[in-house]
Amino acid sequence: MGTIKQGILGGFSGKVGTVIGSSWKGISYMRGQAQHVKNPRSAGQLNQRSKFSLALSFLQPVVPYIRIGYKSQAAKQTEFNAAMSYTIKNAITGSYPSYALDFTKIVVSKGGLTQVTGATASWNNNSNEVKIDWTDNSGVGNALATDKAMPFIYNKAKGETIYDTAGATRATHTQSLTVPNDWEGDKVEVYLGMVSDDGKEVADSIYLGEVTLTPA
């Protein structure tokens, strides 16, 4: 119970409801009672932490790509936080504790630039490259021939990624990325985004599917 020392307008000491009164160097002050979390490991919290950890493990190694890929989504938040939010809400499947990334729904770049069309990915084991082709649709919407490709290849077995944030032009309609030798035999997930030559506009990335890097 609180005790009033100087009348109704004076300070008080002790606890009144959820308010605690005290004094320091002759100055009276009040503070709210600290709130205690009854169950810091509730089912909801565990679910969210598990999803957060999964999205973080995928996105954290590719921050330089995300900074470009999600720059148009960074309103009152960072590009990375925008990508985390989208991935957690849209690209995680399963139930706790067996969550997994849904690679068909992952978007590694997001914006209003016109996407490419007819994009495909294939493996060339002679050159140790993943080859990406697309149709030059310059002039459609806001697409320009000078837009740059942003290929993104993720090796889920190794948790490693290779990418390019300023690749071949839209008009070139093809680009190849050399993969590490120890990736041979692995399966990779391939995506293709686009960015304008001045870096101001970004297109939603397209999922090009899973490609098996079959040994020669």
Report field, pTM of the whole predicted structure over 0.85? no
pLDDT beyond 90 at 153: yes
pLDDT beyond 70 at 137: yes
pLDDT reported for residue 22: 67
Token code pair at residue 204: 């939603």
Residue range 154-203, pLDDT digits in tens:
999 999 999 999 999 999 999 999 999 999 999 999 999 999 999 999 99
| Domain 43-212 coded CATH 3.30.460.80 | no
Q: Which residues contact 150 (CB under 8 A, 6 or more apart)?
A: 65, 68, 69, 108, 109, 163, 164, 165, 166, 167, 192, 193, 194, 195, 202, 205
% residues pLDDT > 70 (the chain): 81
Residue range 31-55, pLDDT digits in tens:
656 555 555 567 778 889 999 999 9
Beta strands in the chain (DSSP E): 3-4, 12-16, 19-24, 27-32, 92-93, 100-101, 117-124, 129-135, 148-155, 160-163, 174-178, 187-195, 206-212
pLDDT beyond 90 at 5: no
Q: Which residue ranges make up each domain of the chain? A: 3-32, 43-212
Q: Which region among 9-13, 130-134, 135-139, 192-196 has the lowest average model confidence (pLDDT)?
A: 9-13
Confidence of residue 8 (pLDDT cuts 50, 70, 90): very low
Rounded to whole angstroms, the Cα distance separating 189 from 211 reads 6
The amino acid occupying position 40 is: P
Q: Using an 8 Å Cβ cutoff, are 147 and 169 in contact?
A: yes
